[in-house]
C-alpha cells in the first residue's frame, strides 16, 4: 500500500515521502552494547492529532521533530480500541484473541499469574526498568502491579478510572500511596502528567552502568469523563495556552493545549537525552493506545482527530485502532522516512527482546520489527486480529490489504484498504470467497476466555 494516509503537508512531508526507499540502519553498535529503550505512550491520541500526520491547528513541533529524525509509520495498530487490552497486548506480545485482558473491566483485572512482560524480559537482559504514568493492568493485592511485573520503579496511576482525573489526590510510588495534598479540596495545583515528566527527567539524569528501559505512559489527551458529565468540559489542563485567543469552544482549546503541553515535555526529554550523551544509545518509540475519543464533551471532528480514517475509540474501524507511531534512533535509523510496514502493539515485546539480545518466550502473536527499522521487509505474517467486548462482541481481522469487520450487532463488512482507507465501500456482498476465507479467522485466531465470555447483541 503506498501513500495510504493521503496526507501531504509541509516541506517535511515531501522530504519524508521522498526518503521512504532509503536504507534503514547504519553499522550496528558493539555486540555487548545494548540500546536504552524509551517508550512514550499517549492516551486516546488520534491518528490525525499530530502535525507530522496532517494536523493543521494543534502545534506539535517536538513530536514532528521526532518524526523528522526517525521513521514515521503509517500502518501501526494499537492492541485494542480501548485502554486496558491495548496495554496488555503491548506488555505481553499477544493480541486480544489470546490476551489475558481483552477489555476494560470493573473491578480492574490484572495479568495472569507468571505472565511474561516486556520489563521482565529486559530485567533479565540487565536493564534498569521504570514506568511513570498509567499502568491499568492490576492494582494492589492482584499480584499484577508494576513492581510485580518487572518494573524496578513505578510512579503513577494503577487504575484506569483513577487516571481519568488529571489532578488526583493521590498516586502510587512503587507499592505505596503518595498523597498529593496540593490537590485536596479541589485546589488542582499538581497536574499528573507534569509529575510523570519530572520523574522521567530525574530518572534519565542518573548515571548508571546498565542500559535502561523507560515506559512513559501519559494520560493525555484522555478526558475526565466524570467531570465532563457534570460540567460539560472534562478536558483538564493547567492552561489553554497557546490557544487562549482562538475562537474555539473552551474544551477544544483545552484539548489542543493538553497535546501541546505533552509535546513540550517530550521536547524537554529529547533535549536531555542529547545533554546526557544518551542520544545515539537510546531508541525512542512514540505512539497512542487507541484512536481519538468522544468523551468529556470533546468532539473528535473538531480537529479531524482521526485524519482520513473512519471511526474513533471503541470502533474496530481504522480510526479506532490505527495509531501514529514514530521510532527514532540517531545514527541507526534513517531520518525522515515514512514506512508503510504494518505492525501492531503485540510486536513490541519480541522487538524489545531482540534489541536487548534476549530470546522472547514462546506462544506470542507478535514478531520483532527490528528488520523494518533496518529498512528490510518483515517476515510474512498471516493476519492481524482484534476483538472487543463492550456492548456486545465485535471482531476485526486484516490479511494483506483485506479487512473484515463485524461490529457488535451489525452485519459483516469487507474493505480493501489499498484503495479504500476510509472504509466506505463495503465489498462483502460482491466478494464472498474473500469474506469466507477471512471469516474463518474469527474462530481460529482466538481462544475462549472465562474473563471475557463471548456475548452477542447490544
CATH number, domain containing residue 398: 3.30.1120.10
Query: Between 3 and 54, where is the model more confident?
Result: 54
The answer to whether 91 and 138 are in contact (CB under 8 A) is no
Check pLDDT > 50 for residue 185.
yes
Residue 276 lies in a domain: yes
Q: Are 372 and 419 in the same domain?
A: no
Instruction: List Cβ neighbours of 363 (8 Å cut-off, separation of 6 or more).
Output: 94, 98
CB count, 10 Å around CB of 418? 12
Query: Between 21 and 190, where is the model more confident?
Result: 190
> Into how many domains does the chain fold?
2
Residue 65 lies in a domain: yes
Check pLDDT > 50 for residue 8.
no
Is the dihedral angle over the CA atoms 430, 436, 437, 443 positive or is it negative? positive
Check pLDDT > 70 for residue 351.
yes
- Residue 108 confidence class, pLDDT cut points 50, 70, 90: confident
Q: Are 371 and 397 in the same domain?
A: no
pTM of the model: 0.93
| Cell numbers placing 168 | 488526583
Check pLDDT > 50 for residue 457.
no
Q: Are 304 and 412 in the same domain?
A: no
- The residue segments making up the domain with residue 429 are 386-444
Q: What is the pLDDT of residues 219-253, one digit of tens each?
A: 999 999 999 998 999 999 999 999 999 999 999 99
Please tell me the distance from the alpha carbon of residue 303 to that of residue 301, in angstroms, as a whole number: 6
Query: Between 77 and 108, where is the model more confident?
Result: 77
- Residue 33 confidence class, pLDDT cut points 50, 70, 90: confident
Q: Are 157 and 281 in the same domain?
A: yes
The answer to whether 180 and 172 are in contact (CB under 8 A) is no
Q: Are 174 and 303 in the same domain?
A: yes
Check pLDDT > 50 for residue 458.
no
Mean pLDDT of the chain: 92
Residue 453 lies in a domain: no
Say whether 414 sits in a helix, a strand or coil. strand
Pairing of strands 71-77, 36-42: unpaired
Please tell me the distance from the alpha carbon of residue 453 to that of residue 448, in angstroms, as a whole number: 7
Q: Are 365 and 398 in the same domain?
A: no
Residue 436: its pLDDT value, please? 98
Per-residue CA distances from 273 to 110, 194, 197 (Å): 33, 18, 13
Beta bridge partners of 394: 388
CB count, 10 Å around CB of 175? 11
Is the bond preceding residue 9 a cis peptide, omega within 30 degrees?
Answer: no
Say whether 311 sits in a helix, a strand or coil. coil
Amino acid at each position: 500500500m503506498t501513500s495510504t494516509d493521503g496526507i501531504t503537508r509541509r516541506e517535511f512531508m515531501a522530504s519524508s515521502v521522498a526518503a521512504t526507499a532509503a536504507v534503514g540502519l547504519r553499522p550496528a553498535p558493539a555486540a555487548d552494547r545494548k540500546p536504552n529503550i524509551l517508550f512514550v505512550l499517549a492516551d486516546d491520541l488520534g491518528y490525525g492529532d499530530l502535525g507530522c500526520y496532517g494536523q493543521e491547528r494543534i502545534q506539535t513541533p517536538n513530536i514532528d521533530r521526532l518524526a523528522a529524525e526517525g521513521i514515521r509509520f503509517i500502518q501501526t495498530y494499537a492492541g485494542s480500541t480501548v485502554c486496558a487490552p491495548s496495554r496488555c497486548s503491548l506488555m505481553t506480545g499477544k493480541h486480544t484473541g489470546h490476551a489475558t485482558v481483552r477489555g476494560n473491566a470493573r473491578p480492574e483485572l490484572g495479568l495472569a499469574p507468571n505472565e511474561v512482560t516486556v520489563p521482565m524480559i529486559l530485567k533479565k537482559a540487565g536493564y534498569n526498568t521504570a514506568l511513570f504514568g498509567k499502568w491499568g493492568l492490576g492494582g494492589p493485592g492482584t499480584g499484577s502491579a508494576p513492581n510485580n511485573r518487572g518494573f524496578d520503579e513505578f510512579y503513577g496511576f494503577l487504575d484506569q478510572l483513577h487516571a481519568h482525573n488529571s489532578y488526583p489526590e493521590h498516586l502510587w510510588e512503587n507499592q505505596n500511596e503518595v498523597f498529593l495534598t496540593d490537590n485536596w479540596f479541589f485546589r488542582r495545583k499538581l497536574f499528573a502528567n507534569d509529575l510523570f515528566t519530572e520523574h522521567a527527567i530525574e530518572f534519565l539524569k542518573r548515571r548508571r552502568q546498565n542500559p535502561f528501559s523507560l515506559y512513559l505512559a501519559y494520560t493525555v489527551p484522555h478526558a475526565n469523563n466524570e467531570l465532563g458529565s457534570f460540567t460539560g468540559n472534562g478536558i483538564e489542563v493547567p492552561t489553554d495556552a497557546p490557544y487562549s485567543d482562538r475562537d474555539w469552544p473552551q474544551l477544544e482549546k483545552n484539548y489542543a493545549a493538553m497535546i501541546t503541553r505533552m509535546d513540550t515535555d517530550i521536547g524537554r526529554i529529547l533535549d536531555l537525552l542529547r545533554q546526557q550523551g544518551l542520544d545515539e544509545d537510546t531508541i525512542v518509540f512514540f505512539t497512542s493506545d487507541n484512536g481519538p475519543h468522544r468523551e468529556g464533551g470533546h468532539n473528535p471532528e473538531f480537529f479531524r482527530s482521526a485524519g482520513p480514517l473512519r471511526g474513533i475509540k471503541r470502533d474496530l474501524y481504522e480510526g479506532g485502532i490505527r495509531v501514529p507511531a514514530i521510532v527514532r534512533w540517531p545514527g541507526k535509523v534513517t531520518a525522515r522516512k515514512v514506512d508503510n510496514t504494518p505492525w501492531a502493539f503485540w510486536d513490541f515485546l519480541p522487538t524489545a527482546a531482540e534489541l536487548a539480545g534476549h530470546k522472547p518466550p514462546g506462544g506470542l502473536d507478535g514478531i520483532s520489527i527490528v528488520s523494518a527499522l533496518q529498512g528490510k521487509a518483515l517476515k510474512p505474517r498471516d493476519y492481524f486480529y482484534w476483538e472487543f467486548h463492550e456492548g456486545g462482541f465485535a471482531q476485526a481481522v486484516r490479511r494483506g490489504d483485506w479487512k473484515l469487520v463485524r461490529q457488535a450487532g451489525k452485519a459483516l463488512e469487507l474493505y480493501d484498504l489499498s484503495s479504500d482507507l476510509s472504509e466506505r465501500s463495503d465489498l462483502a456482498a460482491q466478494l464472498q470467497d474473500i469474506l469466507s476465507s477471512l471469516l474463518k479467522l474469527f474462530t481460529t485466531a482466538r481462544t475462549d476466555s472465562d474473563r471475557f465470555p463471548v456475548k452477542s447483541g447490544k
